[in-house]
Amino acid sequence: MGTFSIVYFALLIAATAAAAYFKNRTALLLLFTLLIVSFLSGLLGGTNVLVGFTIAAGLLAAAAGVSYSFKEALIAILPPEGAKLMRTAPLTAAFGLLVILTYIVAAIFAPVIAPFGEAEVIGGAFAPPDDQMLLGGDQLGRDLFSRLIYGARNTVGVAIVTTALAFLIGTVAGLVAATMGGWVDQLLGRIVDILLAIPQLIFALLLLTIFGAGIIELTVVIAVLYSPLVFRLTRAVAGNIVVMDYIEAARLRGESTWYLVSREVLPNITAPLAAEFGLRFCFVFLAISALSFLGLGIQPPTADWGSMVRETASLISFGLVTPLIPAAAIALLTVAVNFVVDWMLYISSGLKE
Amino acid sequence: MASEKSVLLTIKDLRIEGYSDEQWIEIVHGVDLTLHRGEVMGLIGESGAGKSTIGLAAMGFTRDGCRISGGSVNFDGIDLTTATRGEKRALRGSRIAYVAQSAAASFNPAHKLFDQHSESARLHRTENWKDSREDAIELYRQLRLPNPDEIGFRYPHQVSGGQLQRAMTAMAMSCRPDLIIFDEPTTALDVTTQIEVLAAIRDIVEQFNTAALYITHDLAVVAQMADRIKVLLKGDEVEEAETVKMLSDPQEDYTKSLWAVRSFERDEKPRPPEGTTPLVSVKGVHASYGPVKVLHDVSFDIHKGRTVAVVGESGSGKSTTARVITGLLPPSEGHVEFLGTPLPRAYKDRTKDQLRQAQMIYQMADTALNPKKSIGEIIGRPAQFYGGLRGADLKKRVDQLLDQIELEPSLYYHRLPSELSGGQKQRVGIARALAAEPTFIICDEVTSALDQLVAEGILRLLDKLQKELDLAYMFITHDLATVRSIADEVVVMKEGKVVEAGGKTEMFTPPHHEYTDLLLSSVPEMDPDWLDKLLKERGGITNLGEAASSQI
């Protein structure tokens, strides 16, 4: 047992005891579980596992620290309204915002940030990381880091456009169905039922095989396939609004359906729709990545995280982490968006008061 | 019996804070209260006076986002502000019970009445299932619930609102508590049902010598129930006195103003000459929701510049009649005429001008105004839609309308409905109706969700507008005090039929139709002996409310 293990356990036991002494239940349970797990895994896996734990804890602490500083910075910068909102935001939301902001910056300034072009061949195939290529090279010797940056632009960009299109179709149809009711509602509802009855990924593969796998086809196909879910949500929340007296008042005034939909109903359902947008964005993003992985999504040489995973997948058998890096980029964004969405749902549900 | 009159609850300098906008704001500023065993104290005041908050604090409870910041609540020797959670739990339900305003919302719809009744009894008195059921039947019998042996097997939605409120009182009584807190138990009920509940509550409280805090904004109700009355205003006590003294000789100006609310009354306007074409005429209307027929041959006229009040219990078809007039519910037979010409049955077939002529003001101002639109937009839209006003003209018109409803334009133009009080929202609803420049307005229970002082303001405003603009009102209400103050003509409805119609003066002088008589005599008066007299007149408590109304 090395010095590291002794210090590790000493610190952990002291922290657990402190938590117990100050009657902090959550902290105590957390630390105690960690202690037991450390004992067991330390016995089985040796010091390395403990080092892993320490690194994980350190990363978590670093992320928390950065998020906290980011949150406080935002409070200081934003106008009073925004600052008030941020002050009540949980740390996870701040973390999510920070990650999303980083991705946006990477996507917009990709040519400035990336040291090389996305299709530029720099070194040998699967070159190891060095000073020139921070994360090494891919199967053709292109810089993985540069491609990761460009990937943010392509993958995220396509995902945003697709989600926006899906929302446009779904929201308009849902609002019209809820406001007009009757046969319009029935018709739209049945069309949606048909779309939902076919497994999405398989349907997408089928349609992309028929129409070809260009960016535009990809966007439209995915948007159409994801719009039924938006339709369902919109129709449900709008259904609660159209029974309100102010809608009745507007109907009795003789207002057109378009006015009812756009001016009276839509402003009242933006909060749940915005939350849903974040959530759907993740699914669309993953769907595009999955399609790219299968070779039907964004086509080479355009950098895209999904296809990057596929192209370097074989490296995993050599114990290299290269294919995991673009996968981690996808995972991180998904987690970040979900953090923000959770926070928005919390706000829109009115739980804050 | 000295012990019978010993002090049960003492509240001293109670201060409660509420959390809003990231800071604690004091909402109850040091209220004292002493309640003896077997005594009923009425807490009255407008909304926001802190009545309910104090009522809950008497159980040592605060709503989420509130905290007791000072003072003490001493219940029979136990300080509830410092008591542990376990101590308070032992008291609640067993020695202190609570009856909420909306029984329908407070009962769990998934369980039978018996099961909900027995819960606290079995928790606190460790009774077995059978004993508590027998006890429940006994209490149901004492509260004059119909069919007491079996009603407990029903689910909450299977019994009427008045019965549910009594079942809730029975539930509160199940442990024979020393103190019951009634939080507006009859506010949501019709007048005819209300007296039934009032009489039952009063009986049972007397019988078990239970002390009670009776929270309400209805002075006539509190006059029947309470031994002492405490008047509250914005978290401060205004005054406290014996009921009789309080009613006859209030000391403070605020109390006097509360007492004077029902004074607003205006005389019936002279009838229009025979043969005048009525503005709106409902002719032999039958209507149904699906297979259920709700209106049977309803006919009445509304003349220019006059107010017709349509009264009746809930479910009598008042609002349905309004829906037929506006065209939301096309009638199955009969039609509605406007200045002699029949209107298309459905609103979708009516012209813009026909729609403009008839406007509506709703009961719940909260759901009648779009929460995401500013007051300026809400009021401006009809003017823009019908009058085609734009830009500066529109702004001028909205300002003028805001002036008419007595709200300062510069202050309210950009506000959202959530930033207004209940009365102000209702005023905005009125302005929206006026913006269309109608000749006829349907007012659907416009004052029933408001405090009496605020409601009076709304009635005066409506009256003023009627004089200025020569409007005709159809006033749907179940409150006869409102009818007395504003109506010219009265139409009484029961089960979808018009049972009596005529001028106001005529309606309020006997002889009446039996049903009108029942409605009229059920309105509580500001006389502490009113309920006793009424009970004597009608021959006991069994002959109230639903029982009485079904005999007609």
ipTM above 0.90, yes or no: no
Mean pLDDT across A32-45: 85
The verdict on residue A131 lying in a domain is: no
pLDDT computed for residue A95 by the predictor: 92
Asked if A254 lies within 8 A of B350 by C-beta distance, the reply is yes
Same structural domain, A24 and A165:
no
pLDDT computed for residue B4 by the predictor: 53
- Secondary structure letter of residue B328 according to DSSP: S
Asked if A246 lies within 8 A of B22 by C-beta distance, the reply is no
The verdict on residue A208 lying in a domain is: yes
Chain A segment 75-134 residues within 8 A of B by beta carbon are 84, 87
Taking the CA of residue B319 and the nearest CA in chain A, the distance in Å comes to: 13
pLDDT computed for residue B291 by the predictor: 83
Residue ranges of domains in chain B, CATH in brackets: 3-105+178-262 (3.40.50.300), 280-525 (3.40.50.300)
The verdict on residue A113 lying in a domain is: no
Taking the CA of residue A242 and the nearest CA in chain B, the distance in Å comes to: 11
Q: What is the CATH number of the domain that holds A313?
A: 1.10.3720.10
pLDDT computed for residue A352 by the predictor: 41
Q: What is the residue-wise DSSP string for B48-84?
A: TSSHHHHHHHTTT---TTEEEEEEEEEETTEETTT--
Of the candidates A71, A96, A117, which is a domain's last residue?
Answer: A71
What residues in B contact A272, CB-CB < 8 Å?
A: none
Same structural domain, A222 and A308:
yes
CB proximity B443 to A under 8 Å: no
- Does residue A68 register a pLDDT over 70? yes
Chain B segment 328-347 residues within 8 A of A by beta carbon are 328, 347
- Does residue A26 register a pLDDT over 80? yes
Residues of chain B whose pLDDT is less than 50? 1-3
Instruction: Work out the angle at residue A324's Cα, subtended by the Cα atoms of residues A320 and A325, and round it to the nearest 5 degrees.
Output: 105
What residues in B contact A252, CB-CB < 8 Å?
A: 326-328, 347, 355, 360
pLDDT computed for residue B189 by the predictor: 73
**CB B174, CB B136: distance < 8 Å:** yes
pLDDT computed for residue B28 by the predictor: 83
- Does residue A193 register a pLDDT over 90? yes
Phi-psi region of B362 (alpha: psi -120 to 50; beta: other; left: phi over 0): beta
Helix axes B129-142, B191-207, angle to 10 degrees: 120
CB proximity A255 to B under 8 Å: yes
**Of B511 and A98, more confident:** A98
Residue in chain B lying closest to A268 (CA):
B372
Same structural domain, A56 and A197:
no
Mean pLDDT across A268-293: 84
Taking the CA of residue B295 and the nearest CA in chain A, the distance in Å comes to: 21
The verdict on residue A260 lying in a domain is: yes
Same structural domain, A171 and A287:
yes
Residue in chain B lying closest to A353 (CA):
B65
Question: In chain B, what is the greatest distance between 2 CA atoms, to the nearest angstrom?
Answer: 76
Cross-chain CB nearest to A268 (options B65, B364, B371) = B371
The verdict on residue A161 lying in a domain is: yes
CB proximity B369 to A under 8 Å: yes
What residues in B contact A248, CB-CB < 8 Å?
A: 328, 360
φ/ψ of B241, rounded to 5, equals -160, 170
Residue in chain B lying closest to A267 (CA):
B372
Q: How many CB atoms lie within 10 A of CB A288?
A: 27
Record the tokens describing residue A131, joined without a space.
Answer: 């000073």
What residues in A contact B386, CB-CB < 8 Å?
A: 253
The verdict on residue A56 lying in a domain is: yes
The number of folded domains in chain A is: 2
Interval A103-132: pLDDT, tens: 989 888 888 888 887 777 777 777 777 777
Q: How far is CA B289 from CA A239, A249, B295, B328, B545, in A?
A: 20, 20, 10, 12, 26
Distance in angstroms (rounded) separating the CA atoms of residues B423 and B425 = 5
Pick from A230, A226, A101, A218: nearest CA to A155: A218
Same structural domain, A64 and A208:
no
Interval B297-326: pLDDT, tens: 999 899 988 899 998 877 788 888 998 999
The answer, yes or no, to whether the previous bond of A79 is cis (omega within 30 of 0) is no
Same structural domain, A260 and A148:
yes
Of the candidates A27, A44, A71, which is a domain's last residue?
Answer: A71
The verdict on residue A117 lying in a domain is: no
**CB B438, CB B353: distance < 8 Å:** no
Give me the amino acid identity at A323: P
- Does residue A353 register a pLDDT over 50? no
Asked if B362 lies within 8 A of A245 by C-beta distance, the reply is yes
Of the candidates A71, A106, A129, which is a domain's last residue?
Answer: A71
List the single best residue of B319, B372, B440, B446 to mutate versus A (max A Cβ within 10 A). B372
List the single best residue of B22, B325, B369, B370 to mutate versus A (max A Cβ within 10 A). B370
Strand B333-338 to strand B341-342: parallel, antiparallel, or no bridges (unpaired)? Answer: antiparallel
Distance in angstroms (rounded) separating the CA atoms of residues A105 and A329 = 14
Taking the CA of residue B380 and the nearest CA in chain A, the distance in Å comes to: 13
Q: Residue A226: pLDDT band by 50, 70, 90 thresholds?
A: very high
- Secondary structure letter of residue A260 according to DSSP: I
Residues spanned by the domain of A53: 3-71
CB proximity A249 to B under 8 Å: yes
The verdict on residue A135 lying in a domain is: no
Same structural domain, A163 and A297:
yes
